[in-house]
Structure 1
Amino acid sequence: MKILIVEDELSLQKSINEYLSGLGNTCSAAGSYAQALERLDLYHYDCILLDLGLGDGEGLQLLSYLKRTKRAEGVIIISARNSLDDKLIGLGLGADDYLTKPFHLSELNARILAIVRRKSAQGEHKIAFREISIDLDAKEVKVSGELVHMTKKEFDLLLYFLANKGKVISKSAAVEHIWGDDADMADSFDFIYTHIRNIRKKLMDAGSGDYFQTVYGVGYRFISE
């Protein structure tokens, strides 16, 4: 998953980043309102962790921006404020959850998983398409019940395409999803072809149909029918 951590307490920001990155997520951090806006103007995320008290702005303002621009990211407010009013305002502005500091990082991770699952898989623990099934908890891919071994990036990329069946995904969007904000450092996005080719081969070797379509000059589409 691709996660943006908006937190101006640098020690907590670092702890969250290291913990979630250690679980295989792609994390970016912003220590201020301005930095958060800059990253949101450039990238999309699966989930945003948002502190309300930022040095140069108010986290609720960022929530208003996300709502106004109709962003689809899940949002968890992480705040030392345990005020019912703040919770109601935050949830009313579109936040998906509210976690009061201090908290256990394992609980934060569980809440992130629940939100992303709800948004991408309608709350289910598994996603199925024809003979392909993905277990979100075990991070396993199966074809007609047979386990298909994939790297983390291959798993994330397949899940991304399945969650966006029928949509054309550009190379840059695919790279950004699995590589995070460092995607800008790539000389080209051609290496995404290798990942797609490997996924297709592994699925088809296990007996799956070929559902990836190349949209020349643009990117790829995972068929929806």
Structure 2
Amino acid sequence: MKILIVEDNEKLILELETFLHEEGFLCEKAENVAKALEKVSIYSYDLIVLDIGLPDGSGLDVLKRVKEVDPDTGILILSAKNSIDDKIVGLDLGADDYITKPFHKAELNARVRSILRRKKFEGNNVMTINEIMLDIQSKEVKINGEVLKLTPKEYELLLYFIYNRKRVLTKESIAEHLWEDNIDLADSFDFIYSHIKNLRKKMLKAGCADYIRSVYGVGYKFDLDR
């Protein structure tokens, strides 16, 4: 799962980034409105942790832009203790939840996971699709009841396929989602093929149907009709 943290406090953004990485999330950061708008225009995110009071404007402008380009993105507002109006406006604009500073990391984690469950997994921690069972809390995958051992990247790749199973995914979108904006430094996307090949091989060996379909000239699709 990929998260963008929009926050101008350097100490807090580092703490949030470190904590969310430890919880298994891919994280990027933006310290102001301009940087955040640039990122959401180029990349897609599962969730944005969004401070409202930023040095060059309001985080509400970022919220509005996100809802224009990708309305399914989850939004968790970081608000100051007495900023009731910001919370109300943010929720009216489509934010999913808010958390008031200062907050405990455990509460942040709970709210982040709650939003992702609602947005991606219909409110559940466990998703079952045919012979595949995926637990987003424990990050455990089972095929026909047997645990499938995956690398962290393979797990994130399968997760990305599953919650985008009705869409064709380009190599670029897969690379950006799994390797963050560092992917701009890559010479090619050939390594994507290797990760997909390894994931498919493990799933087939475990007795899973071959759901990962190559779409010529475009990318890949998780196709349950195969």
What TM-score, normalized to structure 2?
0.95
Runs of 5+ consecutive residues of structure 1 not aligned to the other structure: none
Deviation at 1:68, TM superposition (A): 3.4
Q: How does 1:50-199 map to 2 (within 5 A)?
A: 50-199=50-199
Indicate if the aligned counterparts of 2:60 and 2:90 stay in contact, CA closer than 8 A: yes
CA distance in 2, matches of 1:37, 1:11: 22
The CA RMSD measured in Å over matched residues stands at 1.2
Q: In structure 2, the residue corresponding to 1:187 is in which secondary structure?
A: coil
CA distance in 2, matches of 1:24, 1:125: 15
Deviation at 1:22, TM superposition (A): 2.2
Deviation at 1:218, TM superposition (A): 1.5
Report which stretch shifted further, 215-224 or 92-101.
Answer: 215-224
Give, as a single letter, the amino acid of the residue that structure 2 aligns with 1:224. Answer: L
Deviation at 1:206, TM superposition (A): 0.9
CA distance in 2, matches of 1:223, 1:3: 26
Identity percentage over the alignment? 50
CA distance in 2, matches of 1:69, 1:189: 24
Deviation at 1:70, TM superposition (A): 4.5
CA distance in 1, matches of 2:204, 2:66: 40
Runs of 5+ consecutive residues of structure 2 not aligned to the other structure: none
CA distance in 2, matches of 1:60, 1:165: 31
**Matched pairs, number:** 225
Deviation at 1:125, TM superposition (A): 1.1
CA distance in 2, matches of 1:133, 1:82: 43
Deviation track 1:176-217 (CA, whole Å, cap 9, x = no partner) reads 111111111111111111111111111111111111111122
What TM-score, normalized to structure 1?
0.96
Deviation at 1:25, TM superposition (A): 1.5
Deviation at 1:171, TM superposition (A): 0.6
CA distance in 2, matches of 1:110, 1:179: 24
